[in-house]
Amino acid sequence: MRVYRGTRDGAKAPVALTIGNFDGIHLGHQAMLQRLREAALRDGLPAAILTFEPHPRELVTPASAPARLTSIREKLELLKSHGIDQVHVVRFNRAFASLSPQQFIQDILVKDLKIRWLLVGDDFRFGAQR
């Protein structure tokens, strides 16, 4: 598994991608990772994850941020054990949080990561103001 800090040095070729924190890799996460791997295999793409460090709520609402279940190292080991090919760890800071939805899609997903297939959870929100 390849691990990238950020997205600019990441995907050299198109990827199948899912986005999330994946802390603890619970059953819902496992189902998403399975679906990602199936789509990646079907389409001949690497299975890639976009995750954040720190957890976005640690920056946005620190008083209600969830306790971490795993360290970043443990998270990466868990993702590796689930057959993920690439993990892009994005520093979640004020600049990243201020990206508009259009910037996030165009600059991060399309330009940097070259996504061809995307899976997100029901509660996923992105871009400034969610």
Question: Shortest CA distance to 101 belongs to which of 88, 90, 110?
Answer: 110
- Which one has a higher pLDDT value, 122 or 120? 120
- Predicted confidence at residue 13, as pLDDT, reads 87
Q: Tell me what pLDDT residue 129 has.
A: 62
Average pLDDT, the chain: 89
pTM above 0.75, yes or no: yes
Taking the alpha carbons of 49, 102, 124, 51 in that order, is the dihedral positive or negative? Answer: positive
CB 85 within 8 A of CB 1: yes
* Band (3; pLDDT cuts 50, 70, 90): very high
pLDDT (0 to 100) of residue 106:
94
Q: Write down the residue that tokens 């910037």 correspond to.
A: 103
Q: Per-residue confidence at 128, pLDDT binned at 50, 70, 90?
A: low
Tens digits of per-residue pLDDT, 50-78? Answer: 998 887 776 777 888 888 888 999 999 99
Per-residue pLDDT, 26: 87
pLDDT on residue 35 = 97
